[in-house]
Amino acid sequence: MNKKLICLVLAMVMLCAAPLTFATAAKSPPGTPRTQAVLGAADQLSATVIGLTAAAQTELAEIAAFTAANVPVIGYFGDAVKAAVAALLPAGFDVESLVMHDFDLIALTGMDPSFNDFAQPFVYGTAYPDGANIVALLGIEGGSGVEWVALKAEVVNGFVVVYFTQAVLIALNGRTGMLAILSEAI
């Protein structure tokens, strides 16, 4: 069997056997360690949802300060991200109506360049209805600050499924990323 099939089978087993091992509510107190399900085969690719670091708290405070002026949160992330988000949502959807409900940190290790795109379910305290217009934004710290990338997301049976591309997984490997979940008002 190839690595991709093994990863998919193991991920599905974990999804069925232990749905409560996924990320707990992002509304938990900052600094609360939380374990995220394995993205791939055991001891290969794993992600951990961790409490907010000082850098993440700063980023979150900047987002809060930006939206305090009663402006749409999507504006914080810049025009390029806004355009990418619009491309992920249904035509005509007003991206300025998006609300950020959840924010977490995720650390990834064990990414092999042979792995392809991966869909990862998360559980949050926010009750997102199936079919809601939703998108995930992944922020990765770099030399010039945090670079935000829009990722496809959907709600399936109460899980927020985020679709990580191979390029994003490679960029995130060995690093910590900030995961913001934006959706229509619920």
pLDDT, tens digit (0-9, with 9 covering 90-100), for 99-140 = 998 888 888 877 777 778 888 888 888 899 999 999 999 998
Per-residue pLDDT tens digits for 140-176? 887 778 899 999 999 999 899 999 998 998 888 888 8
The Cα–Cα gap between 179 and 65 comes to 18
More confident residue, 108 or 51: 108
The Cα-based distances of 71 to 15, 38, 56, 59, 158 in angstroms read: 38, 37, 21, 17, 29
Residue type, 99: V
Residues 31-56 as b or e (16 or more Cβ within 10 Å = b): eeebebbbbbbeebbbbbbbebeeeb
More confident residue, 25 or 178: 178
Q: Do 151 and 163 form a contact (C-beta atoms < 8 A)?
A: yes
pLDDT of residue 124: 84
pLDDT of residue 61: 87
Per-residue pLDDT tens digits for 5-30? 333 333 332 332 222 222 323 333 33
Contacts of 176 (CB under 8 A, 6+ apart): 50, 53, 105, 106, 107, 141
pLDDT of 34 strictly over 70: no
Cβ atoms < 10 Å from Cβ of 160 = 25
